Amino acid sequence: MIKRLSENVSNLRLLTRSCSLYSSWGGSAAPPTYAWKVAGEDPSSQKQLNGVHAFQCPDKSGIMAKLTECIASHGGNLINGDVFVSSQKQVFYSRSEFVYDPLQWPRVAMDEDFGKLAKMFSAQKSIVRVPEIDAKFKIAVLASRQDHCLVDLLHEWQEGKLPVEITCVISNHNREPNTHVIRFLERHGIPYHYFPISKENKREEEILKLVGNTDFLVLARYMQAFDAGVKLIGATSHFVTAELDCGPIIEQMVQRISHRDTLLSFAQKSENLEKQCLAKVIKYYCELRVLRLGDTKTVVFD
């Protein structure tokens, strides 16, 4: 189901042992919608805002100078810049954080200005975000029977640690009405959709209709290797390709275990790693810290 879904949903999926994530981003960001942070607030009362821009293009001299000039020419100030150039592929990658006055540099004009640079340098990717006023990324969560990653994701979202809007939760497991997950979802007005799935009917068309307006599709699942006698356990986040578990790695977390660990302690440590890895990857992706480096690697700006 996962492999065939990826062919229909989009060109990108992030995967940990406990999660996957689809994205509908293309080479350039679609025009975002904007809303002032405080309802009814006069835009003229706003002070400087923080923006972030991610850029990927063929390498040549002067790219960073032009990016900096673009920001400065509109009264903005670059406060942090990360650059990486792949010497083998001759590709330039950057992530720029800046502050600016929205009165001097309207949000729509900002998209246009960075769009001109993208055209100038034949960029494969040029994405700009202003978290305080841009609409949050919309995600749907596809969950299995195990709750640990799903529950952690929901609580991280509730506490405002994940800059996303959860549109729905989809599962092949029928959770009872009075369970913790269902009560949480009902309390926050998040729909829960149960789809029993078989080899003959994976319910892909129905799922695709539900996630059509989302930016990400996060898959929550669970794996263990207790019986193998491993001494290190870990969780890996990576983009997904046609081959299972062969996509470019984004993040890995490990923890040492010993013969003293029981099945319970082993499971708890595994779950904690999976939850941490999932939350970090979603946060990094929303902050434009992750870019593809060819077919086998990624650039991750910490």
Instruction: Write out the catalytic residue numbers.
Output: 245
Backbone angles phi, psi at 290, to 5 degrees: -120, 125
Report d(CA 113, CA 262) in Å as an integer: 57
Helix (H, G, I), strand (E, B) or coil at 14: strand
User: In this structure, which amino acid lies at residue 231?
Assistant: K
Residues 6+ apart with CB under 8 A from 14: 20, 21, 22, 23, 237, 238, 239, 240, 250, 281, 282, 285, 290
Q: How far is residue 165's CA from residue 167's CA, in Å, rounded to a whole number?
A: 6
88-93 long-range contacts (CB < 8 A, ≥24 apart) are 89/293, 89/294, 90/58, 90/59, 91/56, 91/57, 91/58, 91/59, 91/124, 91/293, 92/55, 92/56, 92/57, 92/58, 92/59, 92/60, 92/63, 92/121, 93/55, 93/56, 93/291, 93/293, 93/299
Distance (Å, whole) CA 179 – CA 182: 5
Per the listing, tokens 């939760």 go with 169
Q: What region, left, alpha or beta, does residue 17 occupy, with left being phi > 0 and alpha being psi -120 to 50 degrees?
A: alpha
Q: For strand 290-293 and strand 192-194, is the pairing parallel, antiparallel, or unpaired?
A: unpaired
